[in-house]
Amino acid sequence: MDFKKTIEAHEQAVAALKADCLPVLEKMAEVCGKAIKSGHKILLCGNGGSAADSQHIAAEFVGRFVKERQGLPSIALTTDTSILTAVGNDYGYDEVFRRQVEALGQAGDVLIGISTSGNSGNIVKAFEQAKKQGVKTLALTGQKDSKMSALADVTLKVPAPVTARVQECHIMIGHMICEYIDEEY
């Protein structure tokens, strides 16, 4: 295992993110900040490692990131096993996030979908539902065009070809949005 090579690949992904994606990242942070300041919430969803990222970022909002502040309204749609298994069983796995957006999403809220492929069926359906309800949609994806990027109000496509490097950038992006809100709140 060449750890140095892995670190260099990570650095290249971050450098590409810095070079190509800062205006999109700033737009995403502004959308989230505006929602929070106007009394709305942030919903997050993803599958696998992206589910863990969703939970991690929601925890940073509700708890705190760095700065002491009041808890901010954020929900990871990946955490309630009773909802996930009931909806998955009764309606199919592609409905697990859409149904929660239908129940919890309100106009002015923000839905952040995290998917390296950008084609996760359950997130695509959640984005479609969000649009019907006036919920803003932010997509964190890999570098390719995708169903999520076609639907989202704002998409940040991490310019890296390897899933692990994309995921590393996704959590960094989530942290930067949290830091922006800490400073603006």
Please tell me whether 116 is known to bind a ligand.
yes
Instruction: Enter the DSSP assignment of 42.
Output: E
Please tell me whether 117 is known to bind a ligand.
yes
Please tell me whether 122 is known to bind a ligand.
no
Please tell me whether 2 is known to bind a ligand.
no
Please tell me whether 48 is known to bind a ligand.
yes
- Residue 14: how many CA atoms within 13 Å on its side-chain side? 11
Please tell me whether 115 is known to bind a ligand.
yes
Angle at 124 between CA 122 and CA 125, to 5 degrees: 65
Please tell me whether 106 is known to bind a ligand.
no
What are the residues whose beta carbons fall under 8 Å from the beta carbon of 125, sequence distance 6 or more? 94, 95, 97, 98
Report residue 108: phi and psi, to 5°.
Answer: 100, -20
Please tell me whether 119 is known to bind a ligand.
no
Query: Environment class of residue 24 by beta-carbon count within 10 Å: exposed (0-12), middle (13-18) or buried (19+)?
Result: middle
Please tell me whether 170 is known to bind a ligand.
no
Please tell me whether 113 is known to bind a ligand.
no
Please tell me whether 10 is known to bind a ligand.
no
Please tell me whether 54 is known to bind a ligand.
no
Cα 170 to its chain centre, rounded Å, is: 8
List the binding residues: 47-49, 56, 60, 89-90, 115-117, 120, 167, 175
List the binding residues for substrate: 47-49, 60, 89-90, 115-117, 120, 167
List the binding residues for Zn(2+): 56, 60, 167, 175
